[in-house]
Structures are given as C-alpha cells and as structure tokens.
Structure 1
Amino acid sequence: MANAIGMIELSSIARGIEISDFMVKAAQVEIVRASTVCPGKYIILIAGYTGDVTASMDEGKKRGGECVVDTLLIPNIHPQLIPAISMTNQVEQPGAVGVLEFYSIASAIRAADIAAKAANVTLIEVKIGYAIGGKGVVVLTGDVGAVRAAVAAAEKGIDLLVGTTVIPRPSPKLFETLL
C-alpha cells in the first residue's frame, strides 16, 4: 500500500505528458492522476513508498526544469487521502460538512492530509484544479466537533487559503450533491 504521495505541476501540457513517462520509469510508483488543470497547466500526482516517490519526484523535477510550477511530497499520508483525490471514499455516516478552499492544488492536498489526521472525519473529496480555475477544494464530513477540529487544524500553516465553512446540519439534498 502506498504511504507517500507526490505531485508536480507544470506550465506545459506537452512537457507534462512527457515528464509523466519519465517519472513512472524512474521508480515503482502509481499515477493517481495525470491531467490538465485550469488554467492550461498539467499535474502529475503519484503514489508509492516514500523512497520511490522521492526518486520519481527528483526525476520529474530534473526533467521538468523551467516548466515546474509547484511540487509536493507528503510521506506517511492518511489512508483516506488517495481515495478522496480519486473520488472513491465511502461515506458511512453523513454528518456535518466542512469545506476548505485554496488557490493552490498542493495546499489543498496538504490540508486534506492534515485534516484527516487531526480528527475523526471522512474525506469526501479533494477537488484538484479542473474546472475550478486551478484551485483546490477539500470536502469532509463527521460529527460537528470533529469537522470543526479538522478544519481548524488544516487552516493552520497552509498557504493560499481562500476560505472555509462548516455546515453543522446539512440538508440531505445538499449531501447527495457532495457524494
């Protein structure tokens, strides 16, 4: 099971596709997502064991050169992080809803990991860049106290925060739209 995640954001789509190939050839990693994001950038999100992710990231940064816009490496990730990015997390018990919005995809991924580690919450989704102007958004659920604690923990020390909200008792109709 993957215990680390890495991401490279590039200013060139063509180079991004090429760099994806170099990265998976450099080490035993899985591509979680490799796609265009707004506004005309490309992200490569990989997962694997920390040493492999580090080696793959080093190769990607070296090959990406001046096209590298941002990078991210998180060892010892929370087990919910990759399913939330892949939109496959199962919500057993819906509760309060917390939302964190960031100008940066990397900031949102970091915040999701922090939030999941800080309190007993379920990550519903980590939206990354596509059709949201390159932003990152974290949506989570749990009892209201846990959601507030997770949001508060994720707000601290993460750059490029746009805003947050906690909805203590969301309408079932709203909750359906989040799943």
Structure 2
Amino acid sequence: MEFPAIALLEFSSIAAGIEAGDAMVKRAPVQKIQSGTVQPGNFLVLVAGDVASVEEAFAAGKEVGPGALADCLFLPNVHPTVVMALGGQRQAAQEDALGIVETTSVATAIRVADAGVKGAEVSLLQLRLADGLGGKGLVYFHGLVADVETAVAIGTDVAHNHLVRHMVIPQLHAEMWDNVNGYGRFGQHFGWEAA
C-alpha cells in the first residue's frame, strides 16, 4: 500500500504514547494508524495518509507527550520502498556493495532510509526497527559502490546525533550476503536438526 505521507512518534513512555495516538486519530482522518511497544520499553505511533491529515495528526501527537517524546519524524513525500519496508518487505540482493547505517532511534532510521533512496540510485535492502536491536534502527542499502557511498553519506548527514555507526562494504562475500539477506537474528540462521 502506498501513502503520500507518514509520521512517526517514538515515546519513552507507553502511557504517553497511547494518549498521543488517541489524540492523533481524533484530530485528523488518517488512512492508517499503527502503534505498539518496542524494545527497550518504548512506544511507537505511526500514521499514514494524505499530507494534510498526517501533518495535523503529527502536531496533535507532539502536543500530548512532549516530555516523553524520544524522537519523531514527518515525511510528507515518503518514498514507496520505505513504506514497503515498514510493512516488512525485504529485498534479497547480492550487488557490488552493502551500505549500513545504524541509528539510536526508529524515527531516525526511517528518515535515513527515505533520504538515502531518494538521494542515490540504491535499493533499500532492509529497514530493521527496535526489536532485537535494543531500540536501535538499522538501514541496509545495496547497489553499485559509488551509489551506496552516496546513500550512506546522505543518511549519516540526516542522522545527526542519532548516528551509532555507518560503513560501506564494497564487495560483501557471498556467504555474508546469505546472512544479511536472512532474518537478521543470530539464532534464526541455524538450520540444525535436533539430535
């Protein structure tokens, strides 16, 4: 499903997040709201729809829980691949390069993904958010080396003080591609049968 705009608010308080989500959908007729807990005990509220409604809902959410608001984003022209990645879609790849941007927040990771795919000829391989990452965000870009370098540079500029680490691996080994294309959690890789 494609949406012209999305907004996400990341709260350090679950109660504040629920209150904010309620205020958001009461104020504006968004097409979609998704909310829930993520590690490490944060609460996310994501709304999607037309630009005006999402912007109004975003403003309402920020008014409710400012003391508990850890990070937020409003993307009035979100890239369609970011929306697909938020829905859990992953691309399998074995291209020339892998670019990785690791962030301290979910909102920043989404912002990095959107900026990277808009600013460079890359594909968004994965967008991993919070759970299993201690609340961090993880963005994987793939494509030709120069393009991946551009996407990562754009992403690190967008991440500002929410950046943990970034890198470009020019030619990731085929066996590592198998791991990167997988689920991402260590235990999921073992296909060992019980003895």
Q: TM-score, length-normalised on structure 2?
A: 0.80
**Residues 68 and 155 (structure 1), Cα distance of their counterparts in 2 relative to 1, 3 Å cut:** closer
Q: For 1:2-17, list aligned pairs within 5 A.
A: 2-17=3-18
Q: CA–CA distance in 1 between the matches of 2:154 and 2:64?
A: 35
Q: For 1:4-153, list aligned pairs within 5 A.
A: 4-25=5-26, 26-31=28-33, 33-91=34-92, 93-95=93-95, 96-153=97-154
Identity of aligned residues (%): 37
- Return the letter of the residue paired with 2:94: P
Q: CA–CA distance in 1 between the matches of 2:25 and 2:85?
A: 22
How far apart are 1:28 and its partner, in Å? Answer: 2.0
CA offsets 1:121-145 (integer angstroms, 9 cap, x no match): 1111222222212211111111122
> Which residue in 2 is equivalent to 1:177?
179
How far apart are 1:2 and its partner, in Å? Answer: 0.8
CA offsets 1:59-98 (integer angstroms, 9 cap, x no match): 222333433232211111212111122221434x531111
Give unpaired runs (5+ residues) of structure 1: none
- Contact 1:124 1:178 (C-alpha < 8 Å) held by counterparts: no
Greater shift after overlay, 154-163 or 16-25? Answer: 16-25
- Contact 1:4 1:73 (C-alpha < 8 Å) held by counterparts: yes
Q: CA–CA distance in 2 between the matches of 1:118 and 1:65?
A: 31
Greater shift after overlay, 101-110 or 13-22? Answer: 13-22
Give unpaired runs (5+ residues) of structure 2: 182-195
SS of the equivalent of 2:159 reads coil
Partner residue of 1:163 out of 159, 162, 165: 165
Over the aligned positions, Cα root-mean-square deviation in angstroms equals: 2.0
Q: CA–CA distance in 1 between the matches of 2:151 and 2:88?
A: 19
CA offsets 1:138-168 (integer angstroms, 9 cap, x no match): 1111112211111112222431211111122
How far apart are 1:18 and its partner, in Å? Answer: 4.1
**Residues 29 and 66 (structure 1), Cα distance of their counterparts in 2 relative to 1, 3 Å cut:** farther
| Count of residue pairs brought into register by the alignment | 177
How far apart are 1:46 and its partner, in Å? Answer: 2.0
